[in-house]
Each structure stands twice: as structure tokens, then as C-alpha cells.
Amino acid sequence: MINLKIAQLVNYALKTALIEDADKVYITNQLLDALQLDDYTEPEATPEAELEDILGGILDYAVEKGIIEDSIVYRDLFDTKLMGILTPRPSAVQKKFFELYDKDPAAATDWYYKLSGDTDYIRRYRVAKDMKWTLDTDYGVMDITINLSKPEKDPKAIAAAKNAAQSSYPKCQLCKENEGYAGRVNHPARQNHRIIPITIDNKPWCMQYSPYVYYNEHCIVFDSGHNPMSINPGTFRKLLSFVEKFPHYFVGSNADLPIVGGSILTHDHFQGGGYTFAMAKAPIETEFAFDGFSDVKAGIVKWPMSVIRLSGKEIERICLLADKILAAWRGYTDEAAFVFAFSGDTPHNTITPIARKNGENYELDLVLRNNITTDEHPAGVYHPHAELHHIKKENIGLIEVMGLAVLPARLKVELAAVADGLLSGEDLYKSPLTAAHAEWAYEIAKNYSLTKENALDIIKLETGKVFEKCLEHAGVYARNDEGKKAFIRFLETVK
């Protein structure tokens, strides 16, 4: 059996052009070495198989022979090592990418994205398990996802990670030193990972794809050095410089403060890709003219959060106005609107910026953020409030800001249990799967005639509405006349 699986993996590499015919014997021997085999007979017939099945068979063999432990963490470490054997060297990947880029940037990213899946760096078979649906709102069609592609560690791996020697290499999972790294129980293997070096705003940065692809061609653009997240005038120039080089992609940055920022604040990075989010389609509902910037169209976007859109043909002019807005917002306080720039020396105001090319114009969306907390809202005033935490209590980061909910994997089971419990008449408060959702679920049941055919779809619909409320809670200015007046009051301070 193992000979067949090895042959199938080599044939997969040939079919996907990871290797060439001249590499076949060499690659086979490298795989034999990884599997601690001294003997091999090539099968007479090698039927095609899916990569997941090929690797699954090899991993089962490795567990049976005691090469690895039977744990998702150790299996992932080992199959990444195997795929690393098949993955072209960084120099070859970069050479091919830039040859294509010189002809067409989109052709370069298309090839690179396919490579990232073919090498199993993007585990397509896991991504396919994500639950996805949409929600029609007054703001546009939002995307709702329950992410199932990021595996959860089992107790054995968690214990091993706790006892493992601490390492500061690579410094984080975004550092360029991850390329080719073998990994460990508390750090993913990256032998099949390849990075593209790029220059944006005359600074050395890098590009890669997210292994979890929350949306089409979900890329990560990151500083080649390990420097912390920072929203500053240089951020806007780097974002628009990237869009200038890759006009078919958008790119944005998480904010640089806790609560309103992303999950990694220690390494400066952006996220982008080939997807048009609901926020990008949302229109300007209130135009606003800034003195001295008649060449830059500006206005408030019709969106649940507080968004200013700048649009124009000249990148530097857009950046100059964005600089002024950022500087004004950093120090802005409006007690009547419960906007406070500082608590003592602790700053609260920052921005989540997103850049794109729209026809002949460059666009820069500036989302105003504030991370102040109170006794009533200890997780954040402009953060999903406690009554929504049964669905989402995590930060509203860049991806959510743009209208795509990335909800926790636990909801797959919990939402199904809620639907089943409402149909069966069970007491939802008594089950640990449904207790947190019970009050919400019983309110839903009052408004619908639930059946076996529609119950889960209705629960998913209402889950999407909770996400919409999460965005409204994260908006600094309320979506009413008073909020609009307060928003304009701030814009009038920009000089």
C-alpha cells in the first residue's frame, strides 16, 4: 500500500507541475527517506487519487510504523514535510512569479495562488468544509462564514507544547523566516511555504497567501522585518503603492490598538486579495469637501461603521488628506458623542484603512475606531456588546469591517443544536451547547413557524443579523441623525 501512495504522490507532483520528469527518481528517494524506507517497487498501475486521500494513507502508515504520533498536530507537521519535498525552491518560485508579473500582474498572482494550493500550503479540502452563506442588508449583501479550516489542537499536543522548550525563532508566524521552517508542536510547519519579496513605498516587504483563505486569493502583505503594527502616514502610502503594483487586488490594514485591531499586533502586515466586499460596493451617502483638496472626492459611506472614503487619481494627494484625517482623529475628543482620545496617557483613537483601484481612480476607505472600555462594556464600548457574545465576542478586525463575518467553529454544532432543540421542544437552557443561545433562540421562535426543512436556515439568517449588529456596535458614530451630526462635527476639525 505505501508504495502505491508514494507513486500517487509523485504523480500528483508531476501533474501539478511541482516537479518535472527528470525529478521523479530523486523525489521518490526523498520521500522514501522521510518514511524511513530502504526498499521500493513502483506499482504497475497507479490510479489517480485526491491529495487528501494520498496524504491520509501515508500518514496512517507513518502512525502504524511509529514514525509519528496519531495527532492532528503531528500529522500536519509530517505531511507538510512531505509536501515540502515536492515544493520548488524559493528562487525558482520568485523567478517564475516575476517573469509572469512583467507581462501581467494578475497572471503572476493567479499562478502563485494555484501553486500555494497545489503544494497543500492552502489545504483546499479543509477550506471547502467552511460554512458560508450571505445576508441581504440595507448596506448590501454581507458574507457570513463559520471557519472550519483551522484545526484545533488535541490535548496531547497542547500538553507537549506546554512542555516544549521555548523558541524565539521565527519570532512570529508572519516572519519571513517561516519559509521552509520545519515547525514544532507550538508552531506550524512551513516547508511548503513560499514568499514573494516586493517593494512598496520604497520599503522591503513580502507577500504570501493565507493558508485559511477566508475569501478569494486572500493574501497577506507583511514587513520583511519584525516590526509592530502601526497606522501612520507611511501606512497609506504603502497600501496605495501595493494597489498600484497589483491593481486587481484590494489591500487593507488592521488597526494598531487592542480590541479594535487584529490578532497579531507584533508584526506590521496588511491583508488583501481578489474579492469585492460589500463595503467596497457601498455608496457615499453624504459628500464632504475638504479645503484645499478639490481634486479628492470625499464623503461618508453608507455602512454600519463610521467610514470616510477618499477617491482621486493622484496617490500622493489622497495620502496627504488621509494624513490630516488621521492626525485629527488621533487627538479628537467629543464628550457629547462619547469619543475620548485618551484615558490618561492611553490612546483610544485609530483607523482601519482599506485601499483599492476603482476604474481610473484610487480609493482609500478610512474606518474610524476607538477602543475605550467602561464598567458597562469592559470588552469595549465600540465592540460587540455582551448580549451578542454568544455568536461573536472576538475583535471586529479588517475582514469583518469590510462585511465578512469570520465566526468561530463552535457555532457549527451549536447552531444545529439550537435548531434541533427548538423543533423538539427541549429546554435550551439545560444543554451546554445551547444555553448561551437560549434567550436569543426563543425570541426567534416567536417570529417564525419553524419546520424541519427551514429551522437551520432561519437560525443562520438570524446569526447573520447578529453580525450586522456587531458592526453597528463597532461603529463610533450611531446610524441616526445625531450620529451623523457628530461625524460631520469631527470632519469639520480636519485642517
Average pLDDT over residues 148-171: 68
* Cell numbers that stand for 241 in this block: 503603492
Q: Look at residue 263 in the predicted model and tell me its pLDDT.
A: 79
Tell me: pLDDT of 156 over 70: no
423-438 per-position pLDDT tens digit: 999 999 999 999 999 9
φ, ψ (nearest 5 deg) of residue 209: -105, 150
User: Percent of the chain scored above 90 by pLDDT?
Assistant: 94
Average pLDDT over residues 158-184: 83
Q: What mean pLDDT is predicted for residues 212-217? A: 95
Instruction: Specify whether the CB–CB gap between 391 and 467 falls below 8 A.
Output: yes
- 24 and 10 Cβ atoms separated by less than 8 Å: yes
Residue 262 has pLDDT above 90, yes or no: no
Instruction: Please calculate the CA angle 12-15-19 and round it to the nearest 5 degrees.
Output: 85
Query: How far apart are the C-alpha atoms of 448 and 454, rounded to whole Å?
Result: 10
Q: How confident is the model at residue 494 (pLDDT cuts 50, 70, 90)?
A: very high
What are the helix (H) ranges across 65-196?
72-86, 90-101, 105-118, 124-127, 155-163
Q: Please provide the average confidence, as pLDDT, over all residues in the chain.
A: 96
Cα 466 to Cα 135, 241, 356, 462, distances in angstroms: 11, 36, 28, 6
Quote the CA–CA distance of 58 and 36 in Å, as a whole number: 12
Q: How far is CA 434 from CA 22, 331, 415, 448, 461, in A?
A: 57, 44, 8, 19, 17
| 42-99 pLDDT per residue, tens | 999 999 999 999 999 999 999 999 999 999 999 999 999 999 999 999 999 999 999 9
3-state secondary structure of 298: strand
Q: What is the pLDDT of residue 64?
A: 98
- Return the SS3 of 58: helix
For residue 463, pLDDT over 60 is answered with yes
| Of 495 and 61, the one with more pLDDT | 61
pLDDT at 468 over 70: yes
Nearest to 163 by CA among 187, 188, 185, 181: 185
**Model confidence pLDDT, tens digit, residues 174-199:** 999 999 999 999 999 999 999 999 99
Residue 62 CB neighbours (<10 A): 22
pLDDT at 264: 87
Would you place residue 372 in the very low, low, confident or very high pLDDT band (cuts 50, 70, 90)?
Answer: very high
Signed CA dihedral, 112, 114, 118, 122: sign only: positive
CA distance 387 to 373: 16
Do the beta carbons of residue 188 and residue 173 sit within 8 Å? yes
Arithmetic mean of pLDDT, 468-478: 97
> What is the share, in percent, of the chain residues with pLDDT greater than 70?
97
Using CA atoms, how far residue 240 sits from 49, 50, 111, 388, 480, in Å, is 43, 40, 23, 35, 32
Cα angle 406, 408, 413; round to 5: 125
What pLDDT does 152 receive?
A: 59
Whether 155 shows a pLDDT value over 70: the answer reads: no
Residue 162 is predicted with a pLDDT of 55
pLDDT in tens, 288-334: 999 999 999 999 999 999 999 999 999 999 999 999 999 999 999 99
Cβ neighbour number for residue 307 with a 10 Å cutoff: 24
Are residues 392 and 131 in contact, defined by beta-carbon separation less than 8 angstroms? no
Position 165 pLDDT exceeds 70: no
| Residue 241 contacts residue 200 (beta carbons within 8 Å) | yes
